[in-house]
Structure 1
Amino acid sequence: MISLKPLAYRMRPKKIEDIVGQQHLVAPGKILARMVKAKLLSSMILYGPPGTGKTSIASAIAGSTKYAFRILNAATDSKKELEMVAEEAKISGTVILLLDEIHRLTKPKQDFLLPHLEKGSIILIGATTENPYITINPAIRSRTQIFEVKPLSEHDIDQAITRALTDKENGLGNQKITLTPEARTHLTRATHGDLRSALNGLELAVKSTSPAEDGVIKLDLAIIEECVQKKALVQDKDGDAHYDVISAFQKSIRGSDTDAALHYMARLLEAGDLPSIVRRLLTIAYEDIGLANPNAAAHAVQAITAAEKIGLPEARIPLANAVIELCLSPKSNSAITAIDEALADVSKGNYGEVPAYLRDAHYQGAKKLGRGIGYKFPHDYPHGWVKQQYLPDKLKDTHYYHPKDSSRYEKALKEQYERLINFNE
């Protein structure tokens, strides 16, 4: 019976237009939409975090093309299951095979699949949470296109919740259900772009909550907190507390207030919001500390790696180390200021021709075009440096980097930068 299947399974899209999020792949005119429209599907690998729609994309592609669709797991399903899919492909012509955990595909299974991928009888859609450029065998990788599937936005999750609550055929539309605004906001936010977790939490809340006297299942913040096992930061009617705490977290580190930064991180930890802490710390390390203390940024990356490996609650320990060091480090935003100034020039069209002597001179006929002629190779000079114009003529006197004296390290960079700028032969 359909009711025995999880809500997340029942709400999988039947065609590509129904996919929630991933508009960089499935919106009209984008690559997967074009493949489906042209009926020119090729094997692919979808990689990204759990619950972001890899299986849904595969299911929707199959539904949009009317091809047979099968799901196997590279780690647990045997070569025999692959052989059955290949036999089905002989009969039906083409089978779309979603192969989950494709990074765990063994050599014998890979060798069996390759000729079927070459013929096109099996269109492989590999799904993985691992970086395919590192974990996928080159033989498979060379025969597939690789697409990144990104975490869903809060708007995407909210859209999917609305569908689930109103869909009478596959969703919860036949039941009377109300979600308080605070509960809905928490459901869209606490699952950090994982739609499967959001729908699982919603379904558990509905099934475990008795209807009120009027027959309505009323879901408040406390119920949703329990069902997704994540606490809200505070119960605020505007739903801004989450972003307010994250903002205060970064500004406290930027302002070198160790105690305030630890306090705000504790609030995020209590809410189980490890992803927000990780993203914010990485940004802070390079945006606010930057060249004033590059070691602090490296240490922050190491702490985040450890935190993600060990998970909560132990993750709090390396994260606390990182926060304290970042707070007490000298601060410099010279790097972000420099790149933003350069980007502003480029976005305004304020750039000129690359000097001819800097252009690629490795192809036949380049010298006839004046490419590379007059280029001074720095390694041919005593100090590995020679004065030479690298910027286009119209920008030759432009300076984007404005170093600070916030630390001995950046002060040394400043001295070297100014020495090179002012060098006279």
Structure 2
Amino acid sequence: MQQPLAYRMRPTKIEEIVGQQDLVGPGKIISRMVKAKMLSSMILYGPPGTGKTSIASAIAGSTKYAFRVLNAATDTKKDLQVVAEEAKMSGTVVLLLDEIHRLDKTKQDFLLPLLEKGAIILIGATTENPYININPAIRSRTQIFEVHPLSPKDIKQAVLRALKDVKNGLGQFHVSLSDPAMEFLTTATNGDLRSALNGLELAVKSTPENDDKMIDIDLSVIEECLQRKSLSADKNGDAHYDVISAFQKSIRGSDVDAALHYASRLIESGDLVSLIRRLIVIAYEDVGLANPAACERTVSAVEAAKQLGLPEGRIPLANVIIELCLSPKSNSAMSAIDQALNDVKTGNYGEIPLRLKDAHYKGAKKLGRGVEYEYPHDFPNDWVKQQYLPDKIKNAQYYHPKNNGKIETALKEQYLRLRQSFGR
């Protein structure tokens, strides 16, 4: 049976992994483990198609350990026993356990002593947050690493590799992939390399050769094979980002109908990831302190949409899009942190006042650290006047509050009172 392209193109060594360079790049944690042959069990969590299985496969390939794949939900304790027996006979086995958040107690109790002895290097894969959904006994014996959606650049690298690879890829076919088709393939799959590669394989194998014995893959073919539509009739590569930009600017400008229109383009293209990420940015960047409750409701709506998926996920998102549009707006918090960051980046700051420096070690008092610090809770109203900023910027003002909404108006009054009390 012919395996899917995504399966055939799985890396066999660390250097072949696409993306996740914060984990597998030179000098990074997993790369160091492999190089030193000091593997420890781990949990990889993140969206589908982002490389969890690839990392496990590459670890096994780079260390020459046997590699086995099981599913915590569907495979039995007996399947685990087979892997354990193999480890006894041939040495360490790298076991990729998919859906590890669904591991029951019987299987867990069988695995734990094997992890302790190092007979099995467990690599758990899950799309769920392991800090919430995985048993503490397993968590305490593993390192937890988050994997992220691949960038369009990462996916393009993998696609080009697959088109060239004669043995495992599509190198035996003479394929011409148009620039718009490549652009759409790398962006519309939302960082899911598995979807991109399998869509590409379907496109190549279902498209007849032209008179020159070439297989021409254009945008319409990729759209059909991915079952997603390009966001723009002009088919240019900037369309994806143009829609996201127009979406944010419509909410910022309080145009409900325009915001719903651009959100619908993203929904129709299947790009739930970009939509929910941008909504959270909008909530905190453009609404912010003018309506903090709307920010919280945005996070709740996004979590609901993730659980529901499309098409049902559109409903909580529509609720919060309308609320954000009609909410008062303020970017004062973003402006404040950006101004403070600019001072730090340009070196426009001074020494931390001695009274604020750490005093929890022997000899700190001799250095004058923490000596003059006054504990606010010892004073009426739990406040006392003292200088917190370095001398060089003691009168700096980063936060410039606005009067947009009851919440920030109240925060402004409190901020100005305190600033005056500090003598600024």
Classify the TM-score, shorter chain. Answer: over 0.9
Instruction: Give the aligned partner of residue 303 of structure 2.
Output: 305
- What residue identity is the alignment partner of 1:152? L
Aligned to 1:398: 396
Per-residue deviation at 1:357? 3.1
Alignment of 1:105-116 (within 5 A): 105-116=103-114
* Deviation, structure 1 residue 249: 0.9
Residue 178 of structure 1: aligned partner: 176
Structure 2 counterparts to residues 52-67 of structure 1, below 5 A: 52-67=50-65
Partner Cα distance (1:424, 1:97) in 2: 60
Alignment correspondent of 1:16: 14
C-alpha separation in 1, matches of 2:312 and 2:146: 30
The answer as to whether partners of 1:117 and 1:124 remain within 8 angstroms in 2 is: yes
Deviations 1:1-60 (A, max 9, x none): 5xx111110000111111111111111111111111112111111111110000001101
Structure 1 Cα separation of the partners of residues 303 and 27 of structure 2: 37
Within the candidate set 215, 234, 241, 1:217 is matched to 215
Per the alignment, residue 420 of structure 2 pairs with 422
How many residue pairs align between the two structures? 423
Change (3 A) 1:123 1:237: same
Task: Supply the distance in 1 between the matched residues of 2:349 and 2:84 (Cα, whole angstroms).
Answer: 55
Aligned-partner SS, 2:380: coil
Look up the match of 1:266: 264
Q: Equivalent residues in 2 for 1:366-381 (5 A)?
A: 366-367=364-365, 369-381=367-379
Gaps of 5+ in 1: none
Once residues 233 and 258 of structure 2 are traced to their aligned partners in structure 1, the CA distance between those partners, rounded to angstroms, is 21
Deviation at 1:337, TM superposition (A): 0.7
Deviation track 1:109-146 (CA, whole Å, cap 9, x = no partner) reads 22222222222221111111111122222222122111
CA positional deviation for 1:379: 2.4
Which whole-Å CA distance do the structure 2 matches of 1:352 and 1:117 have between them?
50
Match of 1:276 in 2: 274
The answer to whether 1:68 aligns with 2:66 is yes
What TM-score comes out, normalization by structure 1 length? 0.94
3-state SS, counterpart of residue 69 of structure 2:
strand
Separation in 1, partners of 2:89, 2:351: 58
Partner of 1:165: 163
Once the two structures are TM-superposed, the CA of residue 262 in structure 1 deviates from its matched residue by 1.8
CA distance in 2 between partners of 1:424 and 1:104 (Å) = 55
2:24 to 14, 22, 26: 26
* Cα distance change of structure 1 residues 40 and 197 upon mapping to structure 2, 3 Å threshold: same
Q: What percentage of residue pairs aligned between the two structures are identical?
A: 72
Q: Would the aligned equivalents of 1:233 and 1:271 in 2 still touch at CA under 8 Å? A: yes
User: 272, 286, 290: which one pairs with 2:284?
Assistant: 286
**1:383 aligned counterpart, secondary structure:** helix
Q: Is the 8 A contact 2:387 2:422 kept in 1?
A: no
Distance 1:40 1:349 in 2: 41
Amino acid at match of 1:211: E
Aligned partner of residue 383 in structure 2, secondary structure: coil
Aligned equivalent of 2:49:
51
SS, match of residue 422 in structure 1 = helix
Q: Distance in 1 between matches of 2:201 and 2:104?
A: 36
How far does residue 307 in structure 1 lie from its aligned partner after superposition? 2.2
Does the CA-based 8 Å contact 1:25-1:31 persist in structure 2? yes
Which residue number in structure 2 is paired with residue 137 of structure 1?
Answer: 135
CA–CA separation in structure 2 for the residues paired with 1:316 and 1:70: 39
Q: 2-side partners of 1:75 and 1:170: how far apart?
A: 30
1:277 positional shift: 1.2
209-218 vs 94-103, greater mean Cα deviation:
209-218
1-structure distance, mates of 2:390, 2:422? 20
Structure 2 gap ranges (5+): none
Deviation at 1:352, TM superposition (A): 3.4
Q: CA separation in 1, counterparts of 2:129 and 2:422?
A: 48
Secondary structure, aligned partner of 1:178: strand
